[in-house]
Amino acid sequence: MFDWKWDFTIEILPRLILATFNTLMAAGVGYGIALIVGLIFALAQRTPIRIINWSVREAVEFIRSTPLVLQIFFVFYVGPQFDLRLSPWTAGMIAIGLHYASYLSEVYRAGLESVPQGQWEACRALNLSTRRTYFRIIIPQALPPALPGMGNYLVGIFKDTPMLSVIGVAELMHTANALGSESYRFLEPYTMVGIIFLAISLPTAFGLRTFETWVSKTLGMSKSKK
């Protein structure tokens, strides 16, 4: 019943490891996009222009409450209708980047809102520029409460990259599917994919927690020195 074949496992391992790099790249690029666009989403909700606030807020809500896999299909197939051909990689990165950007914007927002109002008022009283207010006062205080959420979504985006296989991005899941249909053996490819995911996501989650305590300690110390 349990016919695990070690020689087959070793045979497919190089291809799976190669695909792991693609998965990591997809997660990295997607997260990079999400970090930047998420910040834009978060700041756009703080502008005094009502129509921008409202439309960004609704867009974020919409993206957050619909399935990522459907968004990936949407981005990939809607382009050609407007004579805009996106490669699977481009479409995938846009979809996953925007999806996580809307999650991260909520994390940023919560972080910014956790800074007491008095800090803003003190900055104004001291006549600090907007730039200095953000970089020296607000962000150092908003960052520690935002870090756990940001870390969770880093692991989250990594675990969602298999969805990119549906439009043919050659990441881990896609490779495992291909290996499975070439050899009619699904046990080893799918199990190995699971193990590779665990082997990356568990240490990452642990590393992120260590990093969080380090950051809040470092920032905390710099505050007490002043």
Partner 1 sequence: MTYAEFLNEHGARLIDGSIITVQQTILAALLAIAIALVMGLMRLSSNYVVRSSATVYIEIFRGTSLLVQLYWIFFVLPLFGITLEKFTAGFIAVGMNLGAYGAEVVRGAIQSVPKGQYEAALALNMSPFSRMRRIIFPQALILMLPPWGNLFIELLKATALVSLISVTDLMFQAKQINGTTYLSIEAFGSALVIYYIMSRLVITPGMRWLERALSRHMSRA
Residues binding partner 1 (CB under 8 A): 1-3, 61-62, 64-71, 73-74, 77-78, 80-81, 159-163, 165-166, 173, 176-177, 180, 186-187, 190-191, 193-194, 197-198, 201-202, 205
What's the CA gap between 175 and 128, in Å, rounded? 54
What's the CA gap between 50 and 47, in Å, rounded? 8
Q: Read off the amino acid at residue 75.
A: V
Q: Min. distance of Cβ 65 from partner 1 in angstroms?
A: 4
| N-terminal to C-terminal alpha carbon distance within the chain | 67
Q: Min. distance of Cβ 142 from partner 1 in angstroms?
A: 22
Joined together, the tokens standing for residue 52 give: 């921008």
Nearer to partner 1, 32 or 67 (CB): 67
Q: Min. distance of Cβ 176 from partner 1 in angstroms?
A: 8
Q: Read off the amino acid at residue 36.
A: I
Q: Min. distance of Cβ 59 from partner 1 in angstroms?
A: 11
Q: Read off the amino acid at residue 226.
A: K
Nearer to partner 1, 45 or 165 (CB): 165
What phi and psi values does residue 123 have, to the nearest 5 degrees? -60, -40
Nearer to partner 1, 62 or 120 (CB): 62
